[in-house]
Structure 1
Amino acid sequence: MNKTTHWWWIRHAPVDSGGIIYGDNDVDCDCSDPRLFRQVAERLPRDAVWVTSHLRRTRQTAEAFASHAGLELAEPHVDPRLAEQGFGDWQGLTHDQLRQRDEFDWHRFWITPARTRPPGGESFADLMERVRYAMNDLLQEHAGKDIICVAHGGTIRAALGVALGLEPERALRFAVDNCSLTRMDHFSDTAEPPHDISAEDSWRVSLVNFPPQS
């Protein structure tokens, strides 16, 4: 029996960071502009499992989308593995401050951004692996359903990389704007979901970075 799981990925609302690198710091987002939510909210399924990371900006964004879609948001499933990439000691610094403090590591990061780990942080390749495990567990639990994941730009790039079997360097090429929608489907030919998501799985990506307003 064919079973299709529909994934609806949404990046959180804008963050006023003041120009600093915030990564997986727990900061608030700005949900005050209704135009950022209405167009995408109209596309969201009514009977879906909601998932967020543990960072409050994803919960704030989920609540805003549910409100504009006329949905009653049940307590979402929280998965810390869907958090943004952690930039370790670089978080809290501006790009200029970082360049002045640690020019060698900063230069190396921009040459190989997918594989370089900031001090005390993780690489994008590390992020892809934890997102892969999170997606696998969510698929085990909610196969055949609609899953709305409100997450982060890096997380959504990682999910696209997992679905398309991409190397981390290629997955970084996707643009993922705040409040944009990315859609993908997972197909299974058996009644039971697979025990591991792999490049051999059947995926369809139908929408990437659908804009919140036009």
Structure 2
Amino acid sequence: MELTNHRAEHSTAEAGAATAGTGRPALPLSLTVVRHGQSTANAAFAAAEAVGALEVGISCRDADLGLTALGRRQATALGRRLASRSDGPPPQSLWVSPYLRAQETAALVLAELDDAGLPRPAVRTDERLRDRELGVLEMLTSAAIELHHPAEATRRRLLGELRWRPPGGESHADVALRLRSLLRDLYEEESSRRVLLVAHDAVVLMLRHVLDRLDEEEMERVTRAGAVGNTSVTRWSRGTDGRFELDCYNSAPHLD
């Protein structure tokens, strides 16, 4: 159930802070990114990791995994939070990962905005917001990786998540690279607008890396502090100097 996909017409703006008089478009007024609601894989992996299981019982593509009943409730609660305007005016544009769990989350958010009688944001699906690709290790538990791919498990610990690229997959740095490309388009097309992204935990983390200029050690501290929660909100607002300032990270009061 992929949402409407509007192709980008321009891709020439530079990523970075935009200020008046530079000849570059101003940054969006705000940039909010949320992780999708709980997916069937999130639930299956949590159960498998808790007991050290080797299998999670999932055979479909990662891109085709939908929301659980809990995930749908989380997405609805997120939509109500945005519709309540407790965080400020609602988004004017919505950019969404093509993966089913993100598409379903966005659809439930839009339904709440519609029910509140708010203007529907312009919707765009963008491939660059997809989840991190794990290649041959996709859908493998930690125990299965240690058993069947011990050399990769060792290399992962040695290199760290930012640099480690599984065979056929992506490092976190690879995700950051495609997000830099996305930001160039977003800055040009969404100047002085309120933008919402619905994506994945790796996208949230790498936006912190790019927008807050966090180095590898700082990113490790962020990840050690806790996982990016399902439907949690991370937001940057344009400051008086024309640069993004982090307002909140991994915030989810709507789930209390």
Q: Same fold (TM over 0.5)?
A: yes
Query: Match of 2:255?
Result: 213
Segments of structure 2 that go 5 or more residues without pairing to the other structure are: 1-18, 21-25, 46-55
Query: Match of 1:88?
Result: 135
User: Alignment partner for residue 184 of structure 1, among 209, 233, 236?
Assistant: 236
Task: For residues 106-132 of structure 1, give each alpha carbon's deviation from its aligned partner in whole angstroms, at most 9, with x where no partner exists.
Answer: 122134121010010010011111111
Query: Match of 2:66?
Result: 28
Segments of structure 1 that go 5 or more residues without pairing to the other structure are: 190-200
Does the CA-based 8 Å contact 1:40-1:180 persist in structure 2?
A: no
More helix by share: 2
Query: Match of 1:54?
Result: 98
Task: For residues 174-195 of structure 1, give each alpha carbon's deviation from its aligned partner in whole angstroms, at most 9, with x where no partner exists.
Answer: 4421001111024597xxxxxx
Aligned residue pairs total 203
Shift of 1:15: 1.1
Shift of 1:169: 4.9
Does the CA-based 8 Å contact 1:47-1:146 persist in structure 2?
A: yes
Once residues 149 and 34 of structure 2 are traced to their aligned partners in structure 1, the CA distance between those partners, rounded to angstroms, is: 33
Q: Any idea what SS the aligned residue of 2:247 has?
A: strand
Q: More deviation in 76-85 or 21-30? A: 21-30
Cα gap change, 1:79 to 1:187, in 2 (>3 Å): farther
Query: Match of 2:107?
Result: 63
User: Alignment partner for residue 116 of structure 1, among 164, 167, 187?
Assistant: 164
User: Alignment partner for residue 146 of structure 1, among 189, 194, 197?
Assistant: 194
Tell me the percent identity. 24
Once residues 59 and 72 of structure 1 are traced to their aligned partners in structure 2, the CA distance between those partners, rounded to angstroms, is: 19
Query: Match of 1:166?
Result: 214
Shift of 1:65: 1.6
Task: For residues 125-171 of structure 1, give each alpha carbon's deviation from its aligned partner in whole angstroms, at most 9, with x where no partner exists.
Answer: 11111111101211111111011101111101111111111224533
Query: Match of 2:33?
Result: 9
Once residues 60 and 46 of structure 1 are traced to their aligned partners in structure 2, the CA distance between those partners, rounded to angstroms, is: 19
RMSD after superposition = 2.7
More strand by share: 1
Does the CA-based 8 Å contact 1:9-1:151 persist in structure 2?
A: yes
Q: Are 2:175 and 1:133 aligned?
A: no
Q: Any idea what SS the aligned residue of 1:206 has?
A: strand
TM-score, normalising length from structure 2? 0.70
Q: Any idea what SS the aligned residue of 1:117 has?
A: coil
Does the CA-based 8 Å contact 2:82-2:90 persist in structure 1?
A: no
Once residues 29 and 149 of structure 1 are traced to their aligned partners in structure 2, the CA distance between those partners, rounded to angstroms, is: 17
